[in-house]
Structure 1
Amino acid sequence: MIVQIEGNVKFPITLDPTVWIFDDRKKTFSEIFEGEENETDHLEEDELKRRSTRFDREVYQQKINPPVNKSINRYEKQRILKGTFLMPLKPFLHTSEPLKDVKKATLVTHEGEEIVDADVLAESLLHFSEDGKPLQEQGPVHLYFKDGSNRSNPIKGIKKIVLQ
């Protein structure tokens, strides 16, 4: 259930899509392809206001109450358990530091190899979770282009990304 990024990079890296469910960079399928607004943005604003109020209260009243760590609220937990998520690939490619002469990428899949332009790959998204569960069938990830041109036929079963 891992994906390797290697080839003409300074730092070959290994990705574990099973932990992305807790990553804040993930987006739902509907947010990406259907333009649906993310409800968590509104919830984050409310949480920021509550924290600000709590901070003001503590500073002005000189009370020292340790904050309660609520890293995942009820809504986010439900969203994680039932959501279909995609992760932008760009931050991971940036971390691997591709060499300047990289123009193409080979996606090694269960069924063979697919060659993709490196710029298109950088803007692509990796589908890693379906209905709150890691992709088992033809997993660990499926690749969708940002423009949605392969929405009905993503590149499935990617095991390795080799930059050339």
Structure 2
Amino acid sequence: MNPIIQLTGKVTYPITLDPTLWIFDDRRFEMADRFPGVNGLGMELAPFLDHAKPLPEAAKMVIYQREGSQTVLPLEDARTAVLQFAQEGKPIHPGGPALLHLPDGKLDQPIGSIEKMELV
């Protein structure tokens, strides 16, 4: 399993996310604080999107998964997403390197096996 997630597409700066390093990031938080019943650590996606600087025409985010599935989210929803990168003190496996959660129950289950997120 490759622990890297590419953030590409209609952005000024394509970036590479490595969730294995987030354990050292002060922005991490306990998932249960925002998603009752979910154990582990998470990071907000919005700061990474801001760093990539989406172009004005970017309206959606396509999430590409290892098994070939794709999920399309409005960019506004992607800005509220949380990437869970650890569970019970360990990296997410299987389904890692991160699980994408949306608040307010907008997803039936988190999106896993993410290889790339592309703004379109």
Q: State the Cα distance separating 1:137 from its structure 2 match.
A: 0.5
Could you say which structure has the higher helix fraction? Answer: 1
State the match for 2:82 in structure 1. 125
1:22-37 correspondence runs (5 A) = 22-34=24-36
State the match for 1:84 in structure 2. 40
- Could you tell me how far apart the structure 1 residues matched to 2:24 and 2:103 are? 22
State the match for 1:7 in structure 2. 9
Deviation string, structure 1 residues 60-101 (Cα, Å, up to 9, x no partner): xxxxxxxxxxxxxxxxxxxxxxx7111100000000000011
Gaps of 5+ in 2: none
Q: CA RMSD in A?
A: 1.5
Gaps of 5+ in 1: 35-82
SS at match of 1:5: strand
State the match for 1:155 in structure 2. 111
Quick one: percent identity of the two aligned structures?
A: 37
Task: Go from structure 1 to structure 2 and tell me whether the alpha carbon gap of 1:25 and 1:148 turns closer, same or farther (over 3 Å shift).
Answer: farther
| Count of equivalent residues | 116
Tell me the amino acid that sits aligned with residue 140 of structure 1: P
Could you say which structure has the higher strand fraction? Answer: 2
| Rg larger in structure | 1
Q: 2:65 aligns with which of 97, 109, 117?
A: 109
Q: State the Cα distance separating 1:7 from its structure 2 match.
A: 0.2
TM-score by length of 2: 0.90
Tell me the amino acid that sits aligned with residue 2 of structure 1: I
2:99 aligned with 1:97: no
TM-score by length of 1: 0.67
SS at match of 2:105: coil
State the match for 1:75 in structure 2. none
